[in-house]
Copies of this chain bind each other. A is one copy, B any other.
Amino acid sequence: MSLGDWSCPIPKVDLPTITMSHGAGGGLSAKLFDEVFSKHYPSKELLDRNDSAVIDWDSRYRLAISTDAFVVEPRKFPGGDIGSLSVYGTINDLAVQGAEPIALTIAWVLEEGFPLSELHELASSVGKAAADCSVRVLAGDTKVVQRGRGHGCYITTTGLGRVPKGLELGSSRICLGDCILLSGPIGEHGMAIMSQRSGLDFDPVLKSDCAPLHRMAMSLASQVSGLKLMRDPTRGGISAVLNELAASSQKCFEIQEASVPIRSQVKSACELLGIDPWVVANEGKLLAIVSCDGVQAALDIMRKHPEGSQACQIGQVTGRYPRSVIAETLYGTKRIVAMPSGELLPRIC
């Protein structure tokens, strides 16, 4: 197999306007970041492209901060709603940096005509999710836009957490031979949204995995010395995260397809809709890179938490094709796992 001719399928023409694909978490999202945002307000932390930025603050802790806008459609889905998602999504961005979440801020952009009863429901969902994570909502803002200039409601949350000094996680720590662990079956959030949108009725209903990961992540960070890095594979699924890690670590990520857990129902839905489950968003899964001698300890810890009960090793870091993700298929052949591009599932989170 030659990788010489392979290149990331981003359109080479400069699109003059924003397309849905710019928000899909794949190649065009990265291009937008590279060519616009990182150009105009570069900071070391932003350029590090971690899920949250970590800065020095005091003698014992570093401060982690992360922000996310949520525009998911539909706003309510089996397993959650835009309210709980906007809390857990931001908590998880802190969690994968090994941070203990402390506080949240929340800003609402409401469309004129939005039902107050639904606002109550969503605010209640925010409150319950925040309480579940023991974080306080410290500050908020609300704006209203005219009918047809929004879509019900959009939420932006920003999370603050603290990271014990001495905990160093990052792609620069990834070494050849490190193992790739996944906390459970993939594709559940994306397929729950997708089946809602397409009106597909599954029995039992496809449920989002939307859940907070900080308890599991904090246990891993404090107890597994060989932990190199954690990520939650949201937009763009495990394909996007693995490709980002392969690029930033300049290593090859080799995955055994048979090891990647997928619930049969999600697999069927993906086949029915012609979607690769590896590019489908998750909202309650953790991907961890751990040195070989830490694998058993890490898996033991993950499996103690309900959100990691099906944790397993899915692959290894090698030097075979640097900056690439390779999957060993069920038939023993190998395939390149490309960075997802284009619009797969807009407004998934």
Contact = CB atoms under 8 A, between A and B. Distances in A.
Interface residues of A, number: 80
A204 to B, nearest CB: 29
Contact of A20 (B61, B109, B144): B144
Contact of A109 (B71, B105, B146): B71
Interface stretch (A35-43, A215-223, A242-250, A296-304): A35-43
A130 B71 CA distance: 26
Nearest to A128: B40
A40 B127 contact: yes
Q: For the complex formed by this chain, how many copies does it contain in all?
A: 2
A111 interface: yes
Interface in A139-161: 139-146, 148-151, 154, 156, 158, 160
Contact of A22 (B105, B115, B126, B144): B144
Interface in A242-283: none
Interface in A84-143: 103, 105-117, 119-120, 123-124, 126-127, 130, 136-143
A100 B187 CA distance: 43
A10 interface: no
A139 B45 contact: yes
Given A37-B123, A116-B15, A23 B144 contact: yes
23 contacts: A18-B114, A18-B119, A21-B144, A22-B142, A23-B110, A37-B140, A39-B123, A40-B124, A41-B130, A45-B138, A46-B140, A53-B103, A57-B57, A57-B58, A58-B60, A66-B139, A67-B158, A68-B141, A107-B156, A109-B154, A141-B156, A149-B151, A150-B150
Given A17-B116, A41-B123, A41-B126, 14 more contacts: A14-B116, A17-B114, A18-B113, A21-B144, A22-B142, A23-B145, A32-B142, A37-B140, A39-B123, A46-B137, A58-B59, A69-B109, A71-B145, A145-B154
- Ranked nearest first, the 8 interchain pairs of A and B with the lowest CB-CB distance are A23-B144, A58-B58, A156-B156, A67-B105, A158-B158, A41-B127, A53-B138, A149-B151
